[in-house]
Structure 1
Amino acid sequence: MNPFDERTQAIVNQTAQVMEGLGITSYLVGGSVRDAMLGKTTRDVDIVVCGSANRVGDTLAESLDGHKIRIDFERDAARVIAASQDHAVVIDLLSLAGAGILPDLRRRDFTINAIATPLESAVLGTWNLIDPLGGAQDMDSKTIRAVSGKVFTEDPVRLLRAVRLSAETGFAIEPETESLIRGFAPRLTDSSPERIRSELLRILAARGAAKWVRLMDSLGLLSIVIPELDLARDVSQPREHYYDVFGHLVAALDYADQIVSNRYERDFVREMMPTFDRMDAYFGQGAADGHTRGTFLKLTALLHDIAKPQTKTVEPSGRVRFFGHSEMGEEIAGEVLARLRVGRRGIGMVRSMVRHHLRPRQMGNKGELPTNRAIHRYYRDLGDVALDTLYLNMADFLAARGPLITPAEMRNQVRVINHILTVGPQNQTVVASRKGLLTGHDIMSELQIEPGPLIGRLLKSVAEAEARGRIRNREEALKLARANIETGAVGG
């Protein structure tokens, strides 16, 4: 039943010693106990203490050689992070609510989180459970049940947490709790944007993210978190599209999730999907706000066509157009994420992907592969999200056709993406390292040019020529730069 690895268990044992030295009664609660009962491993430790959580946190942080953060002034909550080079354990401390552990558990959110065990019991491995609300029974039946009708008014972010718990555990929200969520959904706006963002990103991080977004929608929560999506409902698209705009966005999220998890519903999509070396590790990289590239790809898929309702036009012939939806979508997506207090890097990644999500299919003439020069410019312009955007483009393409997609259509799309991947890595290396055949200093010293914008334009032209294979060494690069100056090819 122990959810802790060896390093985490050692920190839990040391924490128990600190509590004993302080004469503090403490209990392991919430997610730690739930994960133990589910047989999951965790490095997040939730403890309630009979005393001031922040004062206990100061002592504990000193003992663990970690650091303490005060995370809730009203409830006297603290977080202690004990980190080694490759292992961080997070201990959340909360002062006991009420006269003892039983009143505290009755004030929690869901019955599966209202189970506790004395900290010393967890250290000894006996795990004597305190379960006044039948949480263990709900665990057995895989049910998420609100402790009472007051839980959502006391802390409205619990409305979204119910969906997140369902996503992370696979448990079903029972009907009475669903009814409560629908009724209290407008209260979610009383929660801080940071807490809403945290729950949303964890929902998107879960496998099968589109299912959980649909659950959010059915409970009236999606319209509260991202009201801009409501405009996309019932907005028809050209006949090539299977879904309306809203349905397309959710379908794109679904395909992005399949790409990130490498679990595909259709065999030919799995067999034909373009891949690159260590792709799983790439999408598992940290991106922003404690979440991965994969999660931010899924978030972007949900938002990539968010400006289509505002840009829709219908020509006299009946042809539907969405001119400028990528550019406007970049702005709207940025506003959504800024409102949710997403970090600067995350916003930048999403904005860039939304703006350029159509670009991979527009880099070459119809029926032709993009040139090396076009691919070089693509990697240069998109930089850190060049690969991510290729797979956003794949998700967009698959969602457009939906269940009507055929292997022949897939083959044409894959041909382009595979070509960009094949040609691209060498260009990406050149751009990422910013090292080519020449440096700005080379150009200034060899060609006797003063510092200024011309240097950058010359370096850009040399890098593109190198990517296309027109030049191979420093001498040829200098010759090209000199010729560009003499002919005015890059401006004066």
Structure 2
Amino acid sequence: MNFEVWPEAIELGHLFAARGYELALVGGPVRDLLLHRRSHDLDFCTSAHPDEFEPILRHWGRDGFWDMGRKFGTLGAMRRREDGTEVKVEITTYRSDTYDPESRKPEVSYGDSLEGDLSRRDFTVNAMALRVPQLEFVDPFGGASDLAKGVLRTPVDPYQSFDDDPLRMMRAVRFVAQLGFSIAPDTAAAISDMTDRIDIVSAERVRDELTKLLLSDRPRAGVEALVESGLADIVFPEIPALQLEIDEHHRHKDVFEHTMIVLDRAIALETGPEGPVPAPDLTLRLAALTHDIGKPKTRRFEPGGKVSFHHHDAVGAKMTRKRLKALRFDHHLVEDVSELVNLHLRFHGYVEEPWTDSAVRRYVKDAGPLYERLNRLTRADATTQNRRKAMVFSSAMDEMEQRVRDLKEKEDFDAIRPDIDGNEIMTILGIAPGPEVGRAYKHMLEYRLDNGPVDHDTAVAELKRWHASL
């Protein structure tokens, strides 16, 4: 088997061999070689212990060295090529790690062979190695064959593998999204049988796998695999709860299927690097995934066979905030996604009756920095099969966006403030700091949103009129 291997890998192989140590490229880089992909992040394993190979790595990694993973037997280094690209390597001593049934952290012990190290890896497609510098391909578990078939299978019995490290179940559905693979039947069965085991994994590690899944090329396939496996019932139960039964007259859509369509459509509306919502955008994708999670709690069967979901936007926003906090997502991300869920129905009123300039200003003001994402989520959510309705909705959104552009030419939407600030309010009305100033400021902000920018005298007159009417 011919490989075009990184020169840095060959060089490191010679350095280790000169001191009597084995070194092998493992995992993702080997998989990517077979897939004809290139990476600048290289993972190796070795017979040497960290204290033994640290001097080699420090010498090689003239542009960077790190040892945060020392307790797991891992050290890292970086070298910058002449063209400016960086090559990062991480080297780990042969090992086997297992989980105590009640522990969230793996217990690490060193192994004594490459084959033994490969047996503890998550899937056969990641259990291949390339010994360096001799370029000997090592594939004891048929990873190359599984790679060709696009199948995820564990090197050892899947029940043992997932018992050793339950996070591997999350990695399986993540690889469905990233690589477009399917999960082998015996492996899928083990995941379904062992979903409760994911409880011992920290929320942060689960969050990281979800993030990688959502930022992949095929997040829908990953989310569907997450639900089908039963893992979603544990880590994100609000998503499988969307699988509402369709009523016999088919008067409302299956909400889960609708959500998957919205996710696909939202991704298609992401932009290039220079656009307002560069792909891949985690905030937009999470909002698409969660925008309707309030529907199961708000579903009501109305007279005449109709189904309603009143206030599912507000309810869904609260549910989204609670779930994303539990998964330890960043505070700002949690708030942004929750606000998008809360606002995702706001535009529908425009379709029924075009807004005044005042209402347009309020929409932009309330959306704030989420304006571009909100419009994309709103467009993605319009999944009606009725072509006339779809065209009316799209046309209305186009019109509203143009009105925003026109208004922005006349006024600064990004910094809408009352025409009179708090200090002026106190001076004009002769009042001291306190709640009354806040009420006056709020009124003048409402006046500004309703009327656009006005001259100072007009603003003063309105403030005095309002104050006199109290």
Q: CA offsets, 1:136-176, max 9 Å, x none?
A: 22222332221011211111111121122222222332222
Contact 1:45–1:90 (8 Å) recurs in 2? yes
- What is the SS of the residue equivalent to 2:300? strand
Pick one of 106, 112, 116 that aligns with 2:125.
Answer: 112
Question: Distance between the aligned counterparts of 2:69 and 2:441, measured in 1?
Answer: 47
Letter of the structure 1 residue corresponding to residue 334 of structure 2? I
Partner of 1:153: 163
Using a 3 Å threshold, how does the CA distance of structure 1 residues 393 and 316 change in structure 2: closer, same or farther? same
After superposition, the CA RMSD in angstroms is: 3.9
1:215 has 2:230 as partner:
no
Q: Which region of structure 1 is more displaced relative to structure 2, 176-185 or 48-57? A: 48-57
Pick one of 340, 349, 361 that aligns with 1:353.
Answer: 340
1:460 has 2:454 as partner:
no
Partner of 1:137: 145
Residue identity (%):
24
Question: Distance between the aligned counterparts of 2:419 and 2:40, measured in 1?
Answer: 48
Question: Distance between the aligned counterparts of 1:237 and 1:427, measured in 2?
Answer: 46
Letter of the structure 2 residue corresponding to residue 385 of structure 1? L
Post-superposition offset of 1:386: 1.4
Output aligned runs, 1:141-220, within 5 Å: 141-149=149-157, 150-220=160-230
Determine which structure has more spread, i.e. the larger CA radius of gyration.
2
Pick one of 257, 270, 275 that aligns with 2:267.
Answer: 257
Q: CA offsets, 1:332-372, max 9 Å, x none?
A: 1111111211111221121011111101212x3x5432333
Output aligned runs, 1:4-43, within 5 Å: 25-43=22-40
1:371 has 2:356 as partner:
yes
- What is the SS of the residue equivalent to 1:46? strand
Question: Distance between the aligned counterparts of 2:248 and 2:162, measured in 1?
Answer: 42
Output aligned runs, 1:214-293, within 5 Å: 214-236=224-246, 242-260=252-270, 281-284=275-278, 292-293=280-281
Question: Distance between the aligned counterparts of 2:13 and 2:361, measured in 1?
Answer: 57
Question: Distance between the aligned counterparts of 1:165 and 1:219, measured in 2?
Answer: 14
Contact 2:44–2:89 (8 Å) recurs in 1? yes
State the TM-score, normalizing by the size of structure 2. 0.80
- What is the SS of the residue equivalent to 1:323? coil
Using a 3 Å threshold, how does the CA distance of structure 1 residues 13 and 447 change in structure 2: closer, same or farther? farther
- What is the SS of the residue equivalent to 1:337? helix
Q: CA offsets, 1:206-261, max 9 Å, x none?
A: 2332233222222222222212334333255897965233333233223323434x
Post-superposition offset of 1:440: 4.1
Partner of 1:271: none
- What is the SS of the residue equivalent to 2:238? helix
Q: CA offsets, 1:299-355, max 9 Å, x none?
A: 222211112222223344554332222112111111111121111122112101111
Post-superposition offset of 1:204: 2.0
Letter of the structure 1 residue corresponding to residue 213 of structure 2? I
Contact 2:74–2:90 (8 Å) recurs in 1? yes
Using a 3 Å threshold, how does the CA distance of structure 1 residues 351 and 144 change in structure 2: closer, same or farther? same
Contact 1:300–1:354 (8 Å) recurs in 2? yes
Partner of 1:269: none
- What is the SS of the residue equivalent to 1:94? strand
Question: Distance between the aligned counterparts of 1:341 and 1:190, measured in 2?
Answer: 15
Contact 2:244–2:254 (8 Å) recurs in 1? yes
Using a 3 Å threshold, how does the CA distance of structure 1 residues 323 and 82 change in structure 2: closer, same or farther? farther
Post-superposition offset of 1:29: 0.8
Letter of the structure 1 residue corresponding to residue 276 of structure 2? Y
- What is the SS of the residue equivalent to 2:347? helix
Partner of 2:313: 326
Using a 3 Å threshold, how does the CA distance of structure 1 residues 20 and 396 change in structure 2: closer, same or farther? same
Post-superposition offset of 1:24: 5.4
Contact 1:197–1:342 (8 Å) recurs in 2? yes
Letter of the structure 1 residue corresponding to residue 394 of structure 2? V
Post-superposition offset of 1:31: 0.5
Contact 2:417–2:445 (8 Å) recurs in 1? no
Contact 1:326–1:354 (8 Å) recurs in 2? yes
Post-superposition offset of 1:414: 0.6
Q: What stretches of structure 1 of length at least 5 have no aligned partner?
A: 122-126, 261-276, 286-291
Letter of the structure 2 residue corresponding to residue 430 of structure 1? D
State the TM-score, normalizing by the size of structure 1. 0.76
Post-superposition offset of 1:82: 7.2
Using a 3 Å threshold, how does the CA distance of structure 1 residues 331 and 2 change in structure 2: closer, same or farther? farther
Contact 1:327–1:355 (8 Å) recurs in 2? yes
Q: What stretches of structure 2 of length at least 5 have no aligned partner?
A: 96-110
Q: CA offsets, 1:101-125, max 9 Å, x none?
A: 121112212111111123546xxxx
Contact 1:193–1:341 (8 Å) recurs in 2? yes
Q: Which region of structure 1 is more displaced relative to structure 2, 332-341 or 415-424? A: 415-424
Contact 2:262–2:380 (8 Å) recurs in 1? yes
Partner of 1:68: 66
Q: CA offsets, 1:258-289, max 9 Å, x none?
A: 434xxxxxxxxxxxxxxxx858743336xxxx
Pick one of 286, 289, 306 that aligns with 1:302.
Answer: 289
Letter of the structure 2 residue corresponding to residue 388 of structure 1? R
Q: Which region of structure 1 is more displaced relative to structure 2, 351-360 or 300-309? A: 300-309
Output aligned runs, 1:381-460, within 5 Å: 381-398=366-383, 401=384, 405-425=385-405, 427=408, 430-432=412-414, 434=415, 440=421, 443=424, 452-453=437-438, 456-457=441-442, 460=445
Question: Distance between the aligned counterparts of 1:42 and 1:256, measured in 2?
Answer: 28
Residues paired across the two proteins, number: 442
Using a 3 Å threshold, how does the CA distance of structure 1 residues 60 and 305 change in structure 2: closer, same or farther? same
Using a 3 Å threshold, how does the CA distance of structure 1 residues 141 and 80 change in structure 2: closer, same or farther? same
Using a 3 Å threshold, how does the CA distance of structure 1 residues 133 and 317 change in structure 2: closer, same or farther? closer
Question: Distance between the aligned counterparts of 1:455 and 1:54, measured in 2?
Answer: 68
